[in-house]
Structure 1
């Protein structure tokens, strides 16, 4: 039997834009997703845009009831910036009423809400001013954070600023998967820096508010694995760690950007524009905890044909296709549970053993209806095996002294996933898009209930 601490947080994670629906209703203004879908619907899987998603705006009471049915004691979701402050300044009272009722319903069912402020849903009014490229985004975000703390600080005691900030940097400014789909590493670094300072200033507002609670950030961080122990491959690993892991984790926990990262950016003519006082702000506004999203490892090797100065990350490190990998064929992602143990040890040894939790872990599978049994339940044993393998490694890391306080799966109900729409499903509950968003528990949800009841397996 693998047992976890009695106060361990068991739950799931989601976001406002991927679940709420009502994307241009009830006072909410447009985000980049609403506008991009309007401009280029052909980019989205089966014309599935952000309009309805999983209809949580109407079904949140049922969802909270369903959370209790599978043993969840916590749930992480986000607030929509464009819903709470449609023009960036004016409070939307309907949004306040919706979120307050949603969060109170969770509390009434003994489910702790962990509330995130930004999950890739840039308001269009800010995008028109340059989005994260513009320095004014920092204070705009700080004002939004201050407003959220004022409106919900009596209900929410665990806050996070950003979910996976490296993703909106990469996908929006290097890879073309998020609007504005620019490919420019210099801009990507500037966007990353403004995002970091937005996080720092949100933490500043949290401290000033003096509300009861804790604040953190959710990062997709993990140690990179090099192809070999050659000097070139180890340099690629180091550069990958600096850019992808330490760029946000070091300032969030240690209060400073690594000197080696500054040097790497300087020698490649990629340094961002900064303002006087930024370093002190970072030092003064570190986090209380970290959320870590983990799906797949990052394997790297020395670049085969690098440019100097670097124009893309591939000029510093290239992905390495490990021949012995186990693969999830639906996403093309490697399944490597041991990385959770390595992350646990990294947090213990390199980051002051700060409290942290697994804020996302999951397995996306297409066409899950193939696995329905005679009663209409999806028998997703592959997801149960995935959880068991990862939880075993997490437990090993905790036994070694790592300060982990929870585990959240992505996700609770099948949700909309950006350009991919509903192609891959992740939920403990399936969502029938053709039948009024009907929720049906999967086998993994029943296993999760039994596991949480025993606090282990």
Structure 2
């Protein structure tokens, strides 16, 4: 069966500044939270691999962009490092950073690769975190000023902007589950950070529109469907609550300019609502996006609580649902995640039916594999498992488009094996294999396959789909 995609479909990959640039304290860059935390607690990072040890995009971007072109990318998403561009979070702009990002953007365009630029990918400058991060309303204004600086510097060439990548992860990791700095476990503070992040997002959108820039602005969300164990009313309610907290808490304000009433009622019931100022609702209303990026890796499956909550326990999302492992689920045995390709279709149809069919694209999708060297034959990773993973997701994306979804592109995570937060290089995701010792890049079988998909704007499935 042939899977042909619409004309001008965007094919590419995604990465971030903190995970690829390297030169973490060179050429005027200051610490972000990862640089700081890595020095404080290096034991929290897999095999002690710290953010200094990345794929060195800062030094090799021209060659790397050439490798993107070699596999027929027509687009690439990365981020700007706030701590590189404005080292103190506020104030002076770093001219070396301006030169670097100008060069990256110009090189991408020269190679026929559309730059998709995200402003924040988990990398809060430590100067801003030290005054409370997004718990502090002053940081909202600082972020908006940083965003405006980016628009003014690069908006003549960048036509696709994104305010935040997966803002729920910053909330979960830093303020609920202790896998990001500042390692706080407090739902009320998490709700403040989530709300202030959306205020910062909206302020950036407002600045973008005030500048009358030729382009579109959006946000990247990891929209993970919350599937109930059964049609039992309590399982359905558990799924609804999970969806409110982890999806709609960002999706609804970004697309509709307002929060779901059910979410506000739920947070009020447990006394977890953040403080709201008089103008906040109007600001959120003005932050509605033009486009949305969708990150999807695995589904979330939930069920009604099986056991009562301890009366003295602090409130957490798990008061409202339990995780559920579906028997017979398809797994990525190298990463421990469920593979459920239809999830990406369900997301796109939900956006079509319930969110005005906003223009959207798959901004991340990928398969991490630990110990991938085991699949090397004659010096090349034979990652047929990744080809299957991507092609099976693309089939469901194709189906959604045929049924009216406004999906306009697909970016895989990621281009070259990159550093991944506390996991370091534990799980490899790239089209190109990275040798950390030599910085040599070697194309994997999946990279060659994807080059043909992009070239042909689709692919043939010999098994018929």
TM-score past 0.5 threshold: yes
The SS at the match of 2:377 is: coil
Give the structure-2-normalised TM-score: 0.96
Task: State the 4+ residue runs in structure 1 displaced beyond 3 angstroms.
Answer: 306-310
In the alignment, which of 346, 361, 378 is matched to residue 342 of structure 1?
A: 346
* CA deviation map 1:431-454 (0-9, x unaligned): 11111x111110000000111111
Q: Counterparts of 1:241-320 in structure 2 under 5 Å?
A: 241-307=243-309, 311-320=315-324
Cα deviation, residue 371, structure 1? 1.3
Match of 1:422 in 2: 425
Match of 2:389 in 1: 386
The SS at the match of 1:405 is: strand
1:333 matched to 2:334? The reply is no
Cα deviation, residue 306, structure 1? 4.3
Residues 288 and 355 in structure 1, CA contact (< 8 A), matched pair in contact too: yes
CA RMSD of aligned residues (A): 1.0
Match of 2:449 in 1: 447
Q: Distance in 1 between matches of 2:305 and 2:187?
A: 16
* CA deviation map 1:77-125 (0-9, x unaligned): 0000000000122100000000000010000011000000000001000
Cα deviation, residue 237, structure 1? 0.7
1:65 matched to 2:66? The reply is yes
* CA deviation map 1:351-382 (0-9, x unaligned): 000000000000000111111112x1111000
The SS at the match of 2:157 is: coil
The SS at the match of 1:2 is: strand
Q: Distance in 2 between matches of 1:174 and 1:56?
A: 32
1:50 matched to 2:51? The reply is yes
Match of 2:233 in 1: 231
Match of 2:39 in 1: 38
Q: Distance in 2 between matches of 1:454 and 1:86?
A: 43
Residues 201 and 287 in structure 2, CA contact (< 8 A), matched pair in contact too: no
Residues 205 and 286 in structure 2, CA contact (< 8 A), matched pair in contact too: no
* CA deviation map 1:396-428 (0-9, x unaligned): 111110110000000000000001000110000
* CA deviation map 1:138-158 (0-9, x unaligned): 111101100110111112110
The SS at the match of 1:159 is: strand
* Structure 2, unaligned runs of 5 or more: 460-465
Residues 20 and 52 in structure 1, CA contact (< 8 A), matched pair in contact too: no
Q: Counterparts of 1:117-266 in structure 2 under 5 Å?
A: 117-266=119-268
Residues 76 and 116 in structure 2, CA contact (< 8 A), matched pair in contact too: yes
1:369 matched to 2:373? The reply is yes
Cα deviation, residue 330, structure 1? 2.5
In the alignment, which of 94, 107, 125 is matched to residue 105 of structure 1?
A: 107
* CA deviation map 1:170-222 (0-9, x unaligned): 01111111001111111111111111111111111111111110000000013
Q: Distance in 2 between matches of 1:443 and 1:223?
A: 30
Match of 1:408 in 2: 411
Residues 1:310 and 1:304: Cα distance change in structure 2 (over 3 Å) = farther
Question: Size of the alignment, in residue pairs?
Answer: 455
Q: Distance in 1 between matches of 2:344 and 2:149?
A: 35
Q: Distance in 2 between matches of 1:271 and 1:423?
A: 37
Cα deviation, residue 341, structure 1? 1.0
* Structure 1, unaligned runs of 5 or more: none
The SS at the match of 1:59 is: helix
Match of 1:77 in 2: 78
* CA deviation map 1:271-329 (0-9, x unaligned): 00111111111212210000000000010111223447971111011111111211112
The SS at the match of 1:118 is: coil
Q: Which moved more, 1:97-106 or 1:323-332?
A: 323-332
Residues 310 and 316 in structure 1, CA contact (< 8 A), matched pair in contact too: no
